[in-house]
Chain A
Amino acid sequence: MSRFNHKPAWLKAITDTGPIVWGIVFCAIWALVIVGFALHEATLRERDKAYEEALDVNNKTVLSDEVRIRTLLAGLDKVILVVRKDFADNPKMTHQQLMDRLAVLQLDSNIDPHIFVFDASGNMMLMSSRSDDAHSLKLNFADREYFQKQKTDASDVLRVDAPVLSRVTGQRSVPLTRHITNTDGTFGGIVGMSVNPSLFTEPFEQSSPGLQDSRSIIGFDGYTRMRLTRGKIEFTSDVRKSQVFNEIKKAKSGSYTAIAAIDGVKRLVSYRVIDPYEIIVVAATPVSAIEGAYANEVRRFTLVAAVCSVLILLLSGLLIYGVGRQRRYVETQQSFNELIEMVPQSVFRMNAAGKIVWANRRTVDYAGPSEEEQAKGFDWVVEAVHPEDRGRLKDFVIDAMKQQITKESFEYRKRRFDGAYLWYSLQVTLLRGANGVDDYYLTTATDIHDRKMAEERARVAQKLESIGQLTGGMAHDFNNLLAIIVGNLDLVKSNVKVEADSKRLDVAIGAAQRGVGLVKSLLALASKQPLLPVTVNLWVLIERISPLLSHALGQRVNFALKPPGDNVHVEVDEAGLEAVLLNLIVNAKDAMPKGGDLTLGLEVTDGMARIVVQDTGTGMSAAVLKRATEPFFTTKERGRGTGLGLSMVAGFAKQSGGTMKIQSAEGLGTTIEIALPLAQAANPVSTQSKSVIMPNQKAVSTNKLKILIVDDEPALAALVRDWAKAQGHTAVVAHSADDALTLLAVRAFDVLLSDIIMPGQLDGISLAEKAGVMHPAMKILLMSGYSRETATNRADVPWPLLVKPFSKEVLETALGQN
């Protein structure tokens, strides 16, 4: 991820996480749709339920009203029928007779009916409520609507008419009437009863079930007998325009919704016609109340749905954010892990109890635990520590944990996969967990084997140096002794006449010669010469040091040489190559502890000289082979190997423009091939290392100088030498820079006077540079037939230049200057 990406975190979270986020968004949308649908469905269901409940309440109300009214009217009608019969039987019926009859009928005391009888003209003839002479009242009721209706209505049914104010009691009462039919069929008046409307209204007032707000009893005449609306009772209201009259034409009972003509309120209405009394009972619930009831439910549902939606959105947002965070966390974790895996250190993690819970790949690769060990956790990390260091290491770690600090620089040895112990430096760092509980320790082990080995090598090198100095001195004496032995034996041999004695002498001479070879090899090893590639006859070199090699191999190993068919010349540093061969031989010997065969061969293929060293030793495993040329990698026990051998060999081969190849398998021996490029031309051949033995340096008087003159022109060089000699100096001529270097290596001079342009690899400038390093106090003069710039191609050469031809005096002046 680019660090120039300035998207806000939440947007990054969405855009970075792709399919998962779109999945979450998809799910959230679906969840919202489902919530919406559920809300819609619930709303409809609640509405239907509210209407059904209201309707049910209305229906039950009108049904119970009908039953109650029928029972009431049937009882009262019976009384009216008895009185009518009595009156027909006895037209002169008295008040007392009426009261007796009523007493016999045992009417409910609550009813307190007022029985009355009118004649055909509407005059009151009898009246239960007044014992005094009814006639005397002279009351006429012909104007009463119920009277008029009975007069015209032929059917013999009980009429229940609209309540009226009583002319007798002044009270509002409901008239229940039947007409009297004379024997000739003519109208003979009416028998009736005034009852308190409360008989009808009482249950109305007692309850108004549910959301119902209106109940009424309506006559077919279009007027209510009574109507109860929101606790208020009315009588004889005009409801002729009511929808109910249309409805009763269709069915005797039912329900409908309509706007009431009387008050303009829309209601759900149930009705029942009570036959034959021509009245209708009605119960009504305002639609607004029903809607209100379910609207409450709907509001509740909507609230729940809204909360659900918000929760869904929040959850989705959190999920998306979380997914983004998780992804970035995983990415961070991954890059962290990659980093940990890449570092060259061995890194592992310890919990607060000091148990190792994780280790990086390098740790695993290094220690190379078996699968069995790995399966048991990380105990192998501890077990790889050298037993001698384990106790100290434990103390170190415990100390770091106790003090809760970072501790470092604990040096200990750790076992590698091949069993070798290498030096490591340990650092323990406390890392605080997020909540103070998950603290853990990050432990880093750094390879310090190189440093340790370097320290050890420095000690060894010092020892070697003194041995080298000793060797140089001793070799000379040994050579003298050997020379005497060989020479004398040689002389004796020429005088010996006995064959057997001659052979013995040959053996003695041979042995002495081998001694000579050994001494030469020792001198080569002790050499401190810088690397100087020279053209070498390779096989001559190999033969020369083979006594030393044979000696190094010991008697258990059969040493065989495989010479090339022809001379093989390469350009190589002799001392280096000798050391390389000795290294390989020592390795081979160590690989053959019980003896074996070693073949040292030389061949030429593909324009390369190939030195092949083949042993029949233990060979290397693939894992060891892979690391064989790593510096400081050694399989030898401590103190025996530096781990530098093969790495030095490989480095030498590469430096010399060649290659090194190893072929090996466990139990099958090792073959190492060093390929070196052939020399361009087999020129001056040296087959000896240049052992440096500095001769005594004597103080030279200032006016008598030792001068080294370097010029490829012999005549000129001789002339300059003669001039120098004439001036009292000692002058030596070298005809090439190489010869000059050879002399400078063994001899100190006060002045170097060198030509600049000479044949060969070194010119005067390079020679002067080298000579200046070898003998810093030496005065250096250059001479040339060209101008300074032409001769040197550079203006910064620090040495004085004598331009040829120059005179004796110029030389004298130049030598005289300090």
Chain B
Amino acid sequence: MTSVLERLSFAVVDDEPFMAQLVSDMLSSADVDVEVFPLGADFLRSPNLLKFKTIILDLSLPDIDGFDLMDKLAADTIGVSVLLISGHSNATINAAEIYGRGIGLKMSGALTKPFTRDELLAALVLTA
């Protein structure tokens, strides 16, 4: 078992509580820390912002567009990597992925909802 300090930390940003809970549950099997943010602003204000290895980001948030959120991450040169999840079609999520990479973010990929736990873990290079 890894120490608390060494435990990886993930942020889930999704306004849909069931969805956020589901992702959180999926990740819990991999023995990692998960923090859920229902709004983009919540996440950006988080004191643990620099601690997160990866942010699992829903493209459609009520307060801030996924693209804009990525703009902010890039502008502040926060070294978190981004895994996009979306209920939109692949075209949009693909574009968002290209965009994120284009503004210099580390991209962990993009998942179209619904996805399985295995798909999620594979994208995050985690094992259950």
47-76 of chain B: CB within 8 A of chain A: 60, 65, 67-68, 71, 74-75
Chain A interface mostly helix, strand, loop or mixed? helix
What 1/0 flags go to A18-56 for Cβ under 8 Å of B?
Answer: 000000000000000000000000000000000000000
CB distance B95 to A732 under 8 Å? no
The answer for the CA separation of A76 and B19 in the assembled complex, in Å, is: 178
Q: Does chain A have a CB within 8 A of B88?
A: yes
- Find chain A residues with CB under 8 A from B22 CB: 483-484, 487-488, 491
CA distance in complex: A633, B74 (Å): 57
For B16, list chain A residues within 8 Å (CB): 480, 484
B9 lies within 8 A of chain A by Cβ: no
CA distance A667 to B100 in the complex (A): 57
For B25, list chain A residues within 8 Å (CB). Answer: 491
Taking the complex as formed, is A731 at the interface, i.e. its CB lies under 8 A from any CB of chain B?
A: yes
A477 interface hit (Cβ, 8 Å): yes
Is B90 in the interface zone, CB < 8 Å from A?
yes
| Complex alpha-carbon distance, A693 and B67, angstroms | 13
Across the interface, B19 reaches (CB within 8 A) one of A484, A513, A743, namely: A484
Question: What is the distance, in angstroms, from A283's C-beta to the closest C-beta of chain B?
Answer: 139
Question: Which residues of B, 89-110, contact A by the 8 Å Cβ criterion?
Answer: 89-92, 94-96, 98-99, 101-104
* A486→B114 contact, CB < 8 A: yes
Q: How far is the CB of A736 from chain B (nearest CB, A)?
A: 9
CB <8 Å contact, B103 and A487: no
In this assembly, does A130 line the interface, its C-beta being within 8 Å of a C-beta of chain B? Answer: no
- Measured CB to CB, the closest approach of chain B to A739, in angstroms, equals 5
A743 touches B95 (CB 8 A): yes
Overall SS of chain B's interface: helix
B23 to chain A minimum Cβ distance, whole angstroms, is: 8
Contact present for B19 and A734 (CB under 8 Å): no
Residues in B with CB closer than 8 Å to A459 are none
B contact residues around A708 at 8 Å (CB)? 102
Chain B residues whose CB sits within 8 angstroms of the CB of A523 once the complex forms: 89
CA distance A718 to B105 in the complex (A): 12
Is B113 a contact partner of A483 (Cβ separation < 8 A)? yes
Would you give the shortest CB distance from A691 to chain B, in whole angstroms?
4
What is the chain B residue whose CB lies nearest that of A520? B89
**Interfacial chain B residues near A746, Cβ < 8 Å:** 91-92, 95-96
B2 to chain A, nearest CB (A): 23
Chain B residues closer than 8 Å to A696, beta-carbon distance: 65
- B71 neighbours in A (Cβ, 8 Å): 730
User: In the complex, what distance in Å separates the CA atom of A482 from the CA atom of B87?
Assistant: 9
Residues of A within 8 A of B101 (CB): 733
Q: How many Å lie between the Cα of A487 and that of B117 in the bound state? A: 7
Does A406 reach chain B (CB closer than 8 Å)? no
Collect the chain B residues with CB atoms within 8 Å of residue A747's CB: 67, 95, 99
> Are B116 and A733 closer than 8 Å at their CB atoms?
no
Report the bound CA distance from A92 to B76 in whole Å: 208
Please report the C-alpha to C-alpha distance between residue A502 and residue B39 in the assembled complex, in whole angstroms. 35
The answer to the question of A174 belonging to the interface, with a C-beta cut-off of 8 Å to chain B, is no
A490 touches B116 (CB 8 A): yes
B117 to chain A, nearest CB (A): 6
Query: What sequence of 0s and 1s flags, for each residue 321-340 of chain A, a beta carbon within 8 Å of any chain B beta carbon?
Result: 00000000000000000000
Query: Measured between alpha carbons, how far is A657 from B50 in the docked complex, in Å?
Result: 54
In the complex, residue of chain B having the shortest beta-carbon distance to the beta carbon of A694: B92
Choose among B74, B91, B113, B116 the residue that contacts A480 (Cβ–Cβ < 8 A). Answer: B113
Q: Mark A726-752, 1 if CB is under 8 A from B, else 0.
A: 000011111000010011011100000
**CB of A476 within 8 A of chain B?**
yes
CB proximity of B15 to chain A, nearest CB, Å = 10
Q: Mark A500-526, 1 if CB is under 8 A from B, else 0.
A: 000000000000110010001001000
Write the A242-266 contact mask toward B (1 if CB under 8 angstroms, else 0): 0000000000000000000000000
- How many pairs of residues, A versus B, come closer than 8 Å at their CB atoms? 115
- Complex: A277 Cα to B115 Cα, angstroms: 168
Is B32's CB within 8 Å of the partner chain A? no
- CB-nearest residue of chain B relative to A486? B114
User: In chain B, what residue has the closest Cβ to A736?
Assistant: B98
User: Any chain A CB within 8 A of the CB of B26?
Assistant: yes
State whether A691 and B103 are in contact (beta carbons under 8 Å apart), knowing that A483-B114, A491-B26, A746-B96 are contacts in the complex: no
Q: How many residues of A contact B (CB 8 A)?
A: 47
In the complex, what distance in Å separates the CA atom of A494 from the CA atom of B117? 10
A547 to chain B, nearest CB (A): 15
A475–B65 CA distance with the chains assembled, in angstroms: 18
Q: Across the two chains, which residue of chain A brings its CB closest to B68? A: A698
- Nearest neighbor of A479 in chain B, beta-carbon distance: B87
Most buried by A among B18, B67, B102, B113: B102
| B87 in contact with A480 (CB, 8 Å) | yes
A276 proximal to B (CB < 8 A): no
Q: Are A742 and B89 in contact (CB under 8 A)?
A: no
Q: In the bound complex, do residue B104 and residue A718 qualify as a contact, i.e. CB atoms below 8 Å apart?
A: yes
Q: Is the CB of A490 within 8 A of B89?
A: no
Contact among B60, B67, B113, B116 for A482, CB-based, below 8 A: B113
Residues of B with C-beta under 8 A to A739: 98, 102
Report chain B residues within 8 Å CB of A480: 16, 19, 87, 113
The yes or no answer to A99 lying at the interface (CB within 8 A) is: no
Chain A proximity of B71: nearest CB distance (Å): 5
Q: Which residue of A lies closest to B101 (CB)?
A: A733
Task: Establish whether residues B75 and A725, one from each chain, have CB atoms under 8 Å apart when the complex forms.
Answer: yes
B residues within 8 A CB of A743?
95, 98-99, 102
In contact, B103 and A732 (Cβ under 8 angstroms) = yes
Q: Which of B26, B96, B103, B113 contacts A479 (CB 8 A)?
A: B113
CB distance from B124 to the nearest CB of A (A): 15
A688 with B117: CB separation less than 8 A = no
Docked Cα-Cα span, A686 to B94, in Å, equals 11
Chain A residue contacts of B112, Cβ below 8 A: 479
Known: A490-B117, A730-B103. A477 touches B89 (CB 8 A): no
Q: Is the pair B87, A476 in contact by a Cβ cutoff of 8 Å? A: yes
Q: Which of A461-487 contact B (CB under 8 A)?
A: 475-480, 482-487
Give the residues in chain B near A742, CB-CB below 8 Å.
91, 94-95, 98
A114 CB within 8 Å of chain B: no
Contact of A695 among B23, B67, B117 (CB under 8 A): B67
Residue A689 lies at the interface, judged by CB distance under 8 Å to chain B = yes
Contact with A along B5-42 (1 / 0, CB 8 A): 00000000000101100110110000000000000000
> Closest residue to A730 on the B side, CB-wise?
B71
- Interface flag for A692 (CB, 8 Å): yes
In this assembly, does A227 line the interface, its C-beta being within 8 Å of a C-beta of chain B? no
- Which residues of chain A are within 8 angstroms of B103 by Cβ–Cβ distance? 721, 730-733
Q: Which residue of A lies closest to B102 (CB)?
A: A732
The answer to whether A788 has its CB under 8 Å from any CB of chain B is no
List the A side residues contacting B92 at CB < 8 Å.
Answer: 691, 693, 746
B77-95 residues with Cβ-Cβ distance < 8 A to A are 87-92, 94-95
Interface string of A428-462 (1 = CB under 8 A from B): 00000000000000000000000000000000000
For this complex, 25 residue pairs linking A to B, each with C-beta atoms less than 8 Å apart, are A475-B87, A475-B89, A476-B88, A479-B113, A483-B87, A483-B115, A485-B114, A486-B114, A487-B23, A487-B115, A487-B117, A513-B114, A523-B89, A690-B89, A692-B91, A693-B89, A693-B92, A708-B102, A718-B104, A725-B75, A730-B103, A733-B103, A742-B94, A743-B98, A746-B96
Q: A476-B87, A483-B113, A730-B103 are in contact. List 10 more A-B contacts (CB 8 A).
A: A476-B60, A483-B114, A487-B22, A488-B18, A686-B90, A689-B91, A693-B89, A693-B92, A743-B102, A746-B95
Q: A residues touching B (Cβ–Cβ < 8 Å)?
A: 475-480, 482-488, 490-491, 494, 512-513, 516, 520, 523, 686, 688-693, 695-696, 698, 708-709, 718, 721, 725, 730-734, 739, 742-743, 745-747
